[in-house]
Amino acid sequence: METVTTWSPGDYLTDQAETNRPRFALVILNQPIADVEGFTRLWNNASLRVCADGGANHLYGIEIDHDIPIPDCITGDLDSLQSKVGNYYRALGVSIVPDHSQYATDFTKSLNWILKQEQLHDSSKQGTASDDDEDDDANIQKENLYGVPWAGQPGAPSWIEHAPLDIIAYGAMGGRVDQTFHAIDQLFQASHRLNGENERGGDEASQHTSSSNTTERKLMLMSEESVTFLLEKGKNIIDTPLRLFGKTCGLIPVAGASVITTKGLEWDLYETETRFGGMVSTSNHLLQDRVEVVTTEPLLFTMEMRKAR
Ligand SMILES: Nc1ncnc2c1ncn2[C@@H]1O[C@H](COP(=O)(O)OP(=O)(O)OP(=O)(O)O)[C@@H](O)[C@H]1O
Ligand SMILES: Cc1ncc(C[n+]2csc(CCO)c2C)c(N)n1
């Protein structure tokens, strides 16, 4: 069975009025934001907005001049959050959720917070079926734990009906190298941690079909420079509208050697092995608005954002 995964990163960037845009959560990391317009479009489009610790400082910098939505949450060890920024958002009612674990980064803690919101909603759906005092207690406890008044309560925001949300992390690439590799590791982790270990792969029955489309939640890393995600084993169809993306792209074998076939690139490959120390396709070019990549192992795909000028 061939698995087909479709990727449409441009959909997150389209205007809010446009329909069919996937609902997504946006995590802002602690990196400078040069392309304020591009970031603001993404921030406005997001359904759930989380600041990873010092990410809030950059948001605050933008909010001074722009009318943008406040975050739903600021989380992390909060060692980078400036006190004036924390006080500002606290006064506006933003949940500030400290997590001092020394075994998870602020990026991971932000993903955990998103997962918790979704899980709380799931349990609240089960809870509403039996409307007893025990459930009320559970909801109060959840509110105390996660600092979100609506968590687990009736009247939760509408995005939650679209959960699990896709997740975009903004600002993960191009800073500290260990943080960059950590972000790539999050892409690997995402395939099981954010989607549930058991939902992947074909079951016995689906082995008999020739192809299946995966509808798992996506995690993508975006910045003003690039968008990056981990292609899955099998066939990947990537929407690459050239009005939104620059032509330069790369296919990086971060999971080890892979045999790949591509369609739609200037230097297409046909059943070619890619591995570090062997052939790695960087500085390749998109030729069209849709690219296909078949890969035997997960493969990092990255492409440029289109520059305003
Ligand atoms: N220099 C950097 N390069 C790339 N990503 C970064 C960098 N600094 C921070 N980040 C991202 O932003 C998140 C929040 O950063 P924060 O302000 O807490 O810095 P930190 O204390 O160094 O991060 P952490 O506590 O997560 O190790 C980090 O978890 C990381 O994903
Ligand atoms: C094997 C191993 N390597 C590094 C760390 C350190 N660490 C990882 S995430 C984190 C929190 C950063 O805010 C810290 C300190 C660890 N715990 N275990």
CATH number at residue 279: 2.60.120.320
Does the pLDDT of residue 288 top 80, yes or no?
A: yes
pLDDT digits (tens, 9 = 90+) for 193-219: 777 754 444 333 333 445 666 668 899
Per-residue pLDDT band at 223 (split at 50, 70, 90): very high
Instruction: Identify whether the C-beta of residue 159 lies closer than 8 Å to the C-beta of residue 149.
Output: no
For 26, phi then psi, to 5°, come to: -115, 130
Question: What pLDDT, on a 0 to 100 scale, did the predictor assign at position 22?
Answer: 76
Q: Is residue 208 part of a domain?
A: no
Q: Is residue 219 part of a domain?
A: no
Give the number of the atom of ligand 2 that is nearest the alpha carbon of residue 106: 13
Q: Is the CB of 223 under 6 A from ligand 1?
A: no
Share of the chain above pLDDT 90, in %: 68
Does the pLDDT of residue 132 top 50, yes or no?
A: no
Domain boundary at 154, 185, 216, which?
A: 185
Q: Is residue 92 part of a domain?
A: yes
State the Cα–Cα distance between residues 287 and 270, nearest whole angstrom: 16
Give the number of the atom of ligand 1 that is nearest the alpha carbon of residue 108: 29
Q: Is the CB of 77 under 6 A from ligand 1?
A: yes
179 with 82, same domain: the answer is yes
Q: Is residue 74 part of a domain?
A: yes
Report, as an integer, the average pLDDT of 270-296: 98
Q: Is residue 200 part of a domain?
A: no
Structural domain including 302 reads: 226-309
Q: Is residue 206 part of a domain?
A: no
Distance 106 CA to ligand 1 centre (A): 7
Q: Is the CB of 99 under 6 A from ligand 1?
A: no
179 with 277, same domain: the answer is no
115 with 240, same domain: the answer is no
Question: What pLDDT, on a 0 to 100 scale, did the predictor assign at position 15?
Answer: 73
Q: Is the CB of 176 under 6 A from ligand 2?
A: no
Structure-block tokens of residue 244: 């939104």
Does the pLDDT of residue 135 top 60, yes or no?
A: no
Q: Is residue 221 part of a domain?
A: no
Structure-block tokens of residue 213: 């489309």
Q: Is the CB of 115 under 6 A from ligand 2?
A: no
Question: What pLDDT, on a 0 to 100 scale, did the predictor assign at position 258?
Answer: 98
Give the number of the atom of ligand 2 that is nearest the alpha carbon of residue 101: 11
59 with 167, same domain: the answer is yes
23 with 135, same domain: the answer is yes
Q: Is the CB of 52 under 6 A from ligand 1?
A: yes
Per-residue pLDDT band at 137 (split at 50, 70, 90): very low
Distance 182 CA to ligand 2 centre (A): 11
pLDDT digits (tens, 9 = 90+) for 76-97: 999 999 999 999 999 999 999 9
Mutate to test the pocket of ligand 2, among 53, 103, 179 (most ligand atoms within 8 A of CB): 103
Which residue has the CA at smallest separation from atom 10 of ligand 2? Answer: 102
Q: Which ligand is nearest to the CA of 178?
A: 1
ipTM of the complex: 0.93
Strand partners, 96: 74
Question: What pLDDT, on a 0 to 100 scale, did the predictor assign at position 160?
Answer: 76
pLDDT digits (tens, 9 = 90+) for 32-76: 998 999 999 999 999 999 999 999 999 999 988 888 999 999 999
Report, as an integer, the average pLDDT of 259-272: 98
Q: Which of 192, 247, 182 is nearest to 221 (CA)?
A: 182
More confident residue, 131 or 165: 165
Question: What pLDDT, on a 0 to 100 scale, did the predictor assign at position 164?
Answer: 87
Q: Is the CB of 170 under 6 A from ligand 1?
A: no
pTM score: 0.87
Q: State the total domains in the chain.
A: 2
